[in-house]
Amino acid sequence: MNLLSIGGSDPSSGAGIQSDIKTFYTLNVHGLTIITAITSQNTSSFGNVEPVSQKILKNQIESIMTDFKIDGIKIGMVYNSQIIKILSKQLQKLKIPIVVDPVIKSTTGGALIEKSAMIDFQKYIIPLATVITPNRFEAEILSKIKINSKKSLRSAAKKIQKMGAKNVVITGIETGSKGISDFIFEKNKECFISGDKINLSNHGSGCNYSAAVIFALAKNKTIKESLRFAQQFTQNSIKNARKIGKGIAVTDVQD
């Protein structure tokens, strides 16, 4: 099985493309990659970002699309409008599951998308999503709804679905002192998938989650099965998090 990760390079290998390659390797599938931007960052701080040129982006897409059967795609960091439009043009004709991880800001505070690209992100990338996986912060930014009740959670998910995503999962909703849940919003069904509350301040957990979702969807699991699998996978990666640098711990998908 071949899964494609489209996103940014993280030299600390905690998140982004490098993290997805680790996840796919651990899950025993081949990880293909299309790099949209190079970041300089580590576990303490985020330096800067350089998006790749249109030419090399298009060439990467062509290289991958003309050679491989692709079973599923995860889209992470897309950074600017130029990249968004090129990706949308190439991906909208595909009939395979696509997971969109709408990353906006890294845990260390770096911008993963330009502010001016948010409208195009909503217009061109969200409609590609079989499943979109915002955390609470990202869901609030996308929906412009403050999430502070079950009603507002549902309204935010509905609004994001209206932008064109088939299914929406808002991750990391705190439910009391011990619980954390993911809120699933399918066509007309909704539910929570509950897990254990674990440390949220780490680098890479969102990437682990969305990469695990595309793995399960590509294996023909249902939406709910895929999201349950991804929650388990991510909880393990957080439990295995290691302090490899001077800053926050980095999740680890290895056993």
Give me the residues that bind ligand PLP (CB under 6 A), please: 7-8, 10, 15-16, 39, 76-77, 101, 103, 106-107, 112, 203-207
Q: E strand or H helix at 74, and its extent?
A: strand 72-75
Nearer to ligand PLP, 19 or 186 (CB): 19
Nearer to ligand PLP, 112 or 214 (CB): 112
Q: CB of 69: closest distance to ligand PLP in angstroms? A: 25
Q: CB of 98: closest distance to ligand PLP in angstroms? A: 16
User: Pairing state of beta strands 2-9 and 30-41?
Assistant: parallel
d(CA 242, CA 206): 16
Nearer to ligand PLP, 106 or 167 (CB): 106
d(CA 46, CA 110): 5
Closest residue to bound ligand PLP by CB: 16
Do the beta carbons of residue 63 and residue 3 sit within 8 Å? no
DSSP state of 122: I
Q: CB of 161: closest distance to ligand PLP in angstroms? A: 21
Do the beta carbons of residue 33 and residue 19 sit within 8 Å? no
Close Cβ partners of 123 (under 8 Å, ≥ 6 residues apart): none
Nearer to ligand PLP, 186 or 235 (CB): 235
- 3-class SS string, 142-200: HHCCCCCCHHHHHHHHHHHHHCCCCEEEEEEEEECCCEEEEEEECCCCEEEEEEECCCC
Nearer to ligand PLP, 8 or 97 (CB): 8
Which residue, chain included where needed, has tokens 């412009």? 144
Nearer to ligand PLP, 7 or 72 (CB): 7
Q: CB of 49: closest distance to ligand PLP in angstroms? A: 8
Q: CB of 189: closest distance to ligand PLP in angstroms? A: 27
Q: CB of 227: closest distance to ligand PLP in angstroms? A: 18
